[in-house]
Amino acid sequence: MTGFTPLEYQDGYLPIADHGLIGDGTTAALVARDGAVVWLCLPRFDSPPVFCRILDHERGGAFSVAPEGIVAAHQYYEPDTAVLVTEMRTPGGLVRLTDALVLRSGARLEEDVAADRGELVRLVEVLQGPVTLHIDLEPRAGGEVCGRSEALCIRPAGREDIELQLSSNLTIAEPHTRLELQSGARLSLVLRWDTLSRRHRPVAPDEALEATRAAWRQWIAGFDYDGPRVPLVRRSAITLKLLNAFAYGPILAAPTSSLPEWIGGPRNWDYRYSWVRDTAYAVYALSRIGMGREAFGFLGWVLDAFERHGRPSVLYTVDGDRPPPERVDPELRGYRSSPPVRWGNAAADQIQHDIYGEILDCAYIWQRQQGALDRQLWTRLVPLITAARVAWDRPDQGIWEVRTPGRVFTYSAALCQVALERGARLAVRYGYHGETERWRATADEIVAAILRDAWDPKLAALTANLGGGPLDASLLTLPLRRLIPAEHPKMVSTVRAIQTGLGAGGGLIYRYLPQELPDGLHSNEGAFLICSFWLVDNLAMQGRVREAHDLFETLCDRAGEVGLLPEEIDPTSGAFLGNYPQAFSHVGLISSGVNLARLAAEPEKAAVP
């Protein structure tokens, strides 16, 4: 926990890092250090936002609870929970605000069932007073006050499916209320939303908070990690779980949309969906620290989605459907005037061949933990292995989802190799029918093609495409997937070239340079954080352990006050960029921590088995 610091707004916005995340496995909210809920989609992660001030500080709407005259604030999580505390200091007062999207009593977060109550609890305690407390409930585009005697009722404009109900232990009769509170005063606020499909027995706010604390602490009790930066790895595990749609199984790339990858630039995407790749990475990271049950939920979810739609897709909604078409919001101006604000994601229509390897790798890891792979699951995996054998040398849009004509990306070919190699292993291990020898032969052919055709002697590096191309930081994953040993001369040289050619300073790495790898957009972007964690892994596996540890510590120090990480970082200022918090970044932190710990104990266990 850090000390109080002043609030510093730029263009009317707090820095992205000045926000904590709360969630209930159905939706998530961002709470700013000034006491405002500036992001909340209802009723679920990928629904339209009711509050989105972070995307337009004038028109986005927020639910603000704050004392008048804040001079400094700080945030922290209650230990081992997703209950967030914001403390705000005024010249003569101190207010503690405790926030949670509360869970049902007795909820077990490792089970694939919904746990939410559809309630946001905000508990205010005046630690020093007196204070003037402002409560402002303002949905995006305003709302109509409804007639309810027991609670303030608001129907957000344009949302016939949602009704907001604000109840309190004190009288809150208007959307904008001012209260004079003395030291020791306690105010409880409960924001409920009715979708006309369910009702819960009312529970006292303190009781709901205690049930929520208990559920999170029961889940994190399975945490198993003994390596560097334990508290931050522990927090990363909780953050990934906050991005998990409990009832379905996937993990979101991020809970937000359109936070810019460069201030003023157009690289603003909707990440409130589950990418097959991102979820596979996340469940693997969780499985390495004792949270392996998420892997099976993901496998079932993604295979069901594949079968439902007839072919694999890059990303899905939380319930396995196709996301809506990508569109630009004409009303919102974007964070710090960085338009466009987008809803939906056109990457859903792309071809990305790496998804075959992501699924097979996840299945392989899961069966190692369970010691079994049932025949029905195997029959659902075989078509993916077969597809990888055909697709590996065909163009696609790649891991970075370029919006240009497809190319044969080295990373995509590598993950097709993973699908074939893991498939062959599984067939042999369990005696299942499959074209094992053919799969193995193609897997060997892919490795040879990468070493031969992706190698650029002028760059002295493996490159983005088979047949040549620019540097691409995704190739740092090749040793992690056991395609090419980290100490292979071409891999050592590639790491050196990426450090030099894609290095952004301070241990940060660009994923690629857009002017060298055209992606259909003409703008800068920040350094992609997970690439730096991949660099940590490579350095450690090449025996540069001290250098790897130092880089890991530097990256961990970049986490925000409450331990959250963004997608990207501005190398010049250290400011957070992109959607937040980002699953990929927390996956990288967990995996690098595990790799460093395992390399210290047993070097052969560091990479993916």
Residue 489 CB burial class (10 angstroms; 0-12, 13-18, ≥19): exposed
Helices and strands (H, E) in the chain, number of each type: 12, 26
Q: Count the Cβ atoms, other than its own, within 10 Å of residue 437.
A: 9
| Average pLDDT of the segment spanning 192-214 | 81
Residue 256's alpha-carbon distances to 38, 260, 411, 579, 582, in angstroms, are 11, 11, 27, 6, 9
CB-CB contact of 107 with 215 (8 Å): yes
Pseudo-torsion of CA 424, 429, 431, 433, nearest 10°?
-20
Q: Is the pLDDT of residue 194 over 80?
A: no
CB-CB contact of 534 with 588 (8 Å): yes
Q: Count the Cβ atoms, other than its own, within 10 Å of residue 263.
A: 18
Residue 595 CB burial class (10 angstroms; 0-12, 13-18, ≥19): buried
Q: Which residues have C-beta within 8 Å of that of residue 157, sequence separation ≥ 6?
A: 139, 140, 141, 142, 143, 144
Confidence tier at 173 by pLDDT (50, 70, 90)? confident
pLDDT tens digit sequence for 379-427: 999 999 999 999 999 999 999 999 999 999 999 999 999 999 999 999 9
Cis amide leading into 43 (omega within 30): yes
Q: Is the pLDDT of residue 608 over 50?
A: no
Q: Is the pLDDT of residue 199 over 80?
A: no
Confidence tier at 367 by pLDDT (50, 70, 90)? confident
Q: Is the pLDDT of residue 195 over 60?
A: no
pLDDT tens digit sequence for 281-323: 998 899 899 987 777 788 888 888 888 887 889 999 999 999 9
Residue 472 identity: D
pLDDT tens digit sequence for 457-499: 999 999 999 998 999 999 999 999 999 999 999 999 999 999 9
DSSP state of 369: H
Confidence tier at 583 by pLDDT (50, 70, 90)? very high
- First-to-final CA distance of the chain: 36
Return the pLDDT at 609.
39
Q: Is the pLDDT of residue 86 over 60?
A: yes
The whole-angstrom separation of Cα 443 and Cα 278 is 23
pLDDT tens digit sequence for 226-240: 999 999 999 999 999
pLDDT tens digit sequence for 109-122: 988 899 999 999 99
pLDDT tens digit sequence for 491-539: 999 999 999 999 999 999 999 999 999 999 989 999 999 999 999 999 9
CB-CB contact of 490 with 447 (8 Å): no
Return the pLDDT at 607.
52
Confidence tier at 60 by pLDDT (50, 70, 90)? very high
Q: What is the mean pLDDT of the chain?
A: 94
Confidence tier at 603 by pLDDT (50, 70, 90)? low
Return the pLDDT at 201.
67
Tokens 């790339």 identify what position? Answer: 253
Give the residue from 93, 43, 86, 41 showing the smallest Cα distance to 65.
86
Of all residues in the chain, the percent with pLDDT exceeding 90 is: 85
**Residues paired with 98 in a beta bridge:** 85, 123
The whole-angstrom separation of Cα 79 and Cα 232 is 12
The whole-angstrom separation of Cα 318 and Cα 316 is 6
Cis amide leading into 395 (omega within 30): no
| Average pLDDT of the segment spanning 155-181 | 93
Return the pLDDT at 197.
47
Region of poorest pLDDT, from 156-170, 242-256, 373-387, 593-607: 593-607
| Average pLDDT of the segment spanning 54-67 | 98
Report pTM: 0.96
3-state helix, strand, coil in the chain (%, to 5): 35, 20, 45
Q: Count the Cβ atoms, other than its own, within 10 Å of residue 307.
A: 12
| Average pLDDT of the segment spanning 433-457 | 97
